Structure 1
Amino acid sequence: SAWILRGAVHLLYLSDLQDQCPNDLCKPPLGDLMVGRQAQLIASSTCGLNGPEQYCTTGHLQEAQNCYMCDSQLPYSYHTNQNSHRIENVITSSDPNKKMAWWQSQNGVHHVSIQLDLETVFQFSHLVLTFKSFRPAAMLVERSKDFGQTWKIFRFFAEDCALHFPSVLSRPAASIDDIICDSRFSGPEPSTGGEVVLQALDPMFEIEDPYAAKIKDLISVTNIRLNFTRLTSLEDTLSARSQRSPVDKNYYALFNMVIQGSCFCNGHGSQCVSVAGGQPGMVNARCVCHHNTAGDNCERCQEFHQDTPWSPGGKTSVNVCRKCNCHGHSDACRFDAARYQLTGGVSGGVCDNCQHYRTGPQCERCQNFMYQDPEKTLVDPHGCIPCDCDPDGSYDGGLCDALTGRCICKENVEGWRCDRCKEGFFGLRRENPSGCHGDVKKAYSMACLL
């Protein structure tokens, strides 16, 4: 029977192998997670939301300053409202007029946050910020994978790490999940157009298993938050101007913010579809799952495919969720870890609610008082037929072997139907647990009493 079980499992495995990603590469394409999600992007400070505000600009090598108005009460419009600097302006757009737009914080506010809230778990690749203002003197990037309930820091950024983040390592990372302070993307130069770049997985480190728990933790996100903690002021960069009031020139301004990522399919999908509408260029949320997996992120096995445990995909398809084998007598099953271990990893599926008088983990046996018709197959809905046993001489009033149909006789009873006493025994009675008595006088007395 073990050979038959292994053979059936092998056939199902070959069938499952046909359900593969193109070129066996289950890797969704990268895109900008910001696109189409302006309603899910928030900033703690934006100039001009409550009315016009003045701000002034002075280049790093410029003496003169130019002053302008910020009025973000209405959305940006190239033709009617170029002075609006709302946070949605940082999202990449195909509209050439949007190249003139940017987001800007209020004057003199050091602690400002920008947060993107995603509708499900995505895979984060890298972040690129392009500043119109000076880059922050200090900032950090955080991530959440439980919709903002808990947060983890990705990286600190500061020109002077010892000053702004004294307890954080400022040396190069020793491992892929080290939290360090990076000084390469801070400072006063350039005064505009400077970038901050963060990669989720540092290319310095070789990744042996892209689905290892450590890697999955680093790239799985439902929320990303930027925390700017210190403005780069002109007083920090131009000591000759220290007499001037810096307030109207101190603000954060971003031309562009790109968060590259993809839908997260746990190695079981290579493309995704929209959950509830979307726009061109948007990274959709719901995976098109392969390998008999299901869920927005292919995070579980499909119904009736619990013969093997779910696990992330990899270079091969050995971890696919395999279809349960209920021999056509059930359309529901569940995974049972104890059975999977007992069979040496061959089968862990347990069928529920077997029909057609069937029972067993795979509906492979007939129920009590039924047996397998030798002329019918295991998948035949009429394959189980009633036992033909004498209820007086067989156990439990008519029990037979589920495979052969041979009746299971009481101790002192024999015959295919368990309908006669063994030699030397007498008085076949249902009430007698042994079926017949060996004492003639006792058997005669019992007969008289009855």
Structure 2
Amino acid sequence: MNAAEVPVPPTGDLLVGRSGQLTASSTCGLDRAQKYCILSYLEGEQKCFICDSRFPYDPHTQPNSHTIENVITSFEPEREKKWWQSENGVTKFLYNLLFLHIFSLDHVSIRLDLEVLFQLSHLILTFKTFRPAAMLVERSTDYGHTWRVFKYFAKDCAASFPNITSGQAQGVGDVVCDSKYSDIEPSTGGEVVLKVLDPSFEIENPYSPYIQDLVTLTNLRINFTRLHTLGDTLLGRKQNDSLNKYYYALYEMVVLGSCFCNGHASECGSAQKTRGDVFSPPSMVHGRCICQHKTDGPNCERCKDFFQDASYGPPGQCLPSGGLSGGVGDDCPQNTEGQHCDGCRPLFSRDPLKAISDPYACIPCECDPDGTISGGLCVSHSDPDLGSVTGRSLCKENVEGAKCDRCKPNHYGLSAADPLGCQLKANKVYQCEEVRMRTTMYDVLSACACHPLGSLPLLPCD
């Protein structure tokens, strides 16, 4: 099974069918109707509106409801009339008899809780208002117990995230701060895009544990940490209308991903007794892998009963337990062999830069079969103690070259039928010299009476 044959489940929007698993820490109008305004230079005569999210959005009866499920992609007409919106932000003033308390409402989070482990590809956010001046995206692989950051975004990375490297990542998995998606323009319709695996880096083995750890998650959290403002929020309580103009608002959120099956499934089904909408839409990405290759488990992470792990991970396979394969490796993938499929077949050698689970871990020997022992064999793996190097050809006695494809000096006629590979040239001086090396002087004189200056070409030495 080569790389092209590794089954890949289809990718889709993980939000579809999971509105009940999407939450926001702040939503306008949840407890009571709230006033909000737009910037005065934006088009339209009306500048202030009412948000009332006590009931779900309905274009006819509840057009002012801006709950978080509004961000899930739909193909309704006039889609731009539906969005999620946080409470008015920046600062909140609370007075008691002695003190003025100021609370920041810049910090708002959106969270998606998945029922099983999934694989994430892209996150795309389309904003109705300014994009955040600063934000970060986190993930959890243990259902929210611990969190790790995917990426930071900020207009001023040094000010917002002073301990984080800014600019271009230097390698796959580097956590950096990106300023590309945090400018104050455009004022509406701006996007923030997260690509989990940076396409500028080549990934040799997408099934390595390191790469799999980078792309999997059970929970996704987006933290907005700073709003863009125009400098009118510092004027105090008398300018309360200025505070009503600043909040986070999203038209759409797309979480592209697939079920995570360790390369052992091409489709996934719905899991029983798991969270999700009551009626699953046709485009919903389910999380229960329909496993192939004798694998089992929610993510095809183990072998079925009576099968054993054979260098697990694509294109690794599960073989019958008890040595039923006889160690021959007939069921081993892509030019591997052995009871655990951890060696290369004859006429192949191990690429030292690839894991044995890689589809191209065993590469063909580049040896001339006429000049090598056993018709093209090469060293299958390196052994420093023996001084052997993987891929090196095993030449016959009178043959040389990295590929055993030429005769040694003063030899000719490379042939598969010749056990030495090549014959000594028909020059009696050379023939007699070779004879002298292998026999006594008496044998030489009796077997080959050669002229001191050499015999004529092609004359037998008898």
Instruction: Quickly name the TM-score band, shorter chain normalised.
Output: 0.5 to 0.7
**Counterpart for residue 93 of structure 1:** 74
Alignment match, 1:346: 339
**Structural RMSD (CA):** 2.7
CA drift at 1:65: 6.5
Residue 160 in structure 1 maps to residue 156 in structure 2: yes
Which of 129, 132, 140 is the aligned partner of 1:144? 140
2:84 counterpart residue number: 103
Cα distance, 1:207 vs. partner? 0.3
CA distance in 1, matches of 2:19, 2:201: 34
Q: Which residue of 1 aligns with 2:52?
A: 71
The alpha carbon displacement at 1:278 in A equals 2.3
1:262-306 CA-partner distances (Å, limit 9, x unpaired): 000101111111113622210011111111101111111011112
Please state how far the C-alpha of 1:98 moved relative to its aligned partner: 4.6
Letter in 2 for 1:39: G
Instruction: Answer yes or no: is 1:322 the counterpart of 2:319.
Output: yes
Residues 32, 261 of structure 1: 8 Å contact kept:
yes
Aligned residues: 306
Is the Cα–Cα contact under 8 Å of residues 102 and 256 in structure 1 kept in the other structure?
yes
Deviates more, 1:253-262 or 1:90-99: 90-99
Structure 1 residue matching 2:266: 3-state secondary structure: strand
**For residues 30-429 of structure 1, what are the structure 2 equivalents within 5 Å?**
30-58=11-39, 66-96=47-77, 98-108=79-89, 109-235=105-231, 245-276=241-272, 278-306=280-308, 308-309=309-310, 311-314=312-315, 319-325=316-322, 346=339
Give, in angstroms, the shift of residue 100 of structure 1.
1.9
Shift of 1:324: 2.5
Alpha-carbon separation, structure 1, partners of 2:68 and 2:17: 13
Report Cα offsets for 1:212-256 as digits up to 9, x if no partner: 12211110010000000011113289x9xx978521001000000
Residues 94/63 of structure 1: CA separation in 2 closer, same or farther (3 Å cut): closer
Return the letter of the residue paired with 1:302: K
> Which residue is equivalent to 1:439?
none
Question: Residues 347 and 86 (structure 1 numbering): CA distance in 2 closer, same or farther, change over 3 Å?
Answer: closer
Superposed displacement of residue 180, structure 1:
0.6
Which amino acid counterpart does residue 243 of structure 2 have in structure 1? V
Q: Aligned partners of 1:236, 1:26: CA distance in 2, in Å?
A: 55
Secondary structure of the 2:137 match is strand
CA deviation after TM superposition for structure 1 residue 347, in Å: 6.1
How far residue 345 of structure 1 moved from its aligned partner, in angstroms, is 5.0
Match of 1:361 in 2: none
Query: Shift in Å at residue 323 of structure 1?
Result: 1.8
| Equivalent pair of 2:310/2:340 in contact (CA under 8 Å) | no
Of Structure 1 and Structure 2, the greater helix share is in: 1
CA gap of 1:236–1:190, structure 2 versus 1, over 3 A, is farther
Unmatched 5+ stretches in structure 1: 1-16, 328-343, 349-450
| 8 A Cα contact 2:323 2:339, kept in partner | no
Question: Distance in 2 between the 1:236 and 1:220 partners?
Answer: 42
The structure-2 alpha-carbon separation of the partners of 1:193 and 1:236, relative to structure 1 and needing over 3 Å to count, comes to farther
- DSSP 3-state at the match of 1:129: strand
CA distance in 2, matches of 1:25, 1:347: 19
What amino acid sits opposite 2:313 in the alignment? P
Pair 1:105–1:61, CA change in 2 (3 A): closer
Contact 2:140 2:147 in 1 (8 A): yes
* Structure 1 residues 75 and 323: alpha-carbon distance in aligned structure 2, compared to 1, 3 A threshold: same
Q: Partner of 1:428 in structure 2?
A: none
Code of the residue aligned with 2:287 in structure 1: it is: A
Taking a change above 3 Å as real, the CA distance of residues 310 and 94 of structure 1, as seen in their structure-2 partners, is: farther
In the alignment, what sits opposite 2:442?
none
Contact 1:133/1:192, CA 8 A, preserved across alignment:
yes
Identity score, percent: 53
Secondary structure of the residue aligned to 1:214 is helix
- Checking the alignment, whether the CA contact within 8 Å between 1:44 and 1:113 is kept in structure 2 is yes
Letter in 2 for 1:112: V
Distance verdict in 2 for CA 1:264–1:200, change over 3 Å? same
**Is the 1:234–1:246 Cα contact (8 Å) retained in structure 2?**
no
CA distance, structure 1, for counterparts of residue 80 and residue 38 of structure 2: 19
Residue 163 (structure 1) shift: 1.1
Q: Distance in 2 between matches of 1:43 and 1:60?
A: 29
> C-alpha displacement at 1:94, in angstroms?
2.9
Question: Matched residue of 1:89: which SS?
Answer: helix
Whole-Å separation in 2 of the counterparts to 1:26 and 1:297: 13
Q: Per the alignment, do residues 167 and 72 of structure 1 end up closer, same or farther by CA in structure 2, a change over 3 Å counting?
A: same
What is the CA-CA distance between 1:96 and the residue it aligns to? 2.7
Query: Aligned equivalents of 2:72 and 2:139: distance in 1?
Result: 19
TM-score by length of 1: 0.64
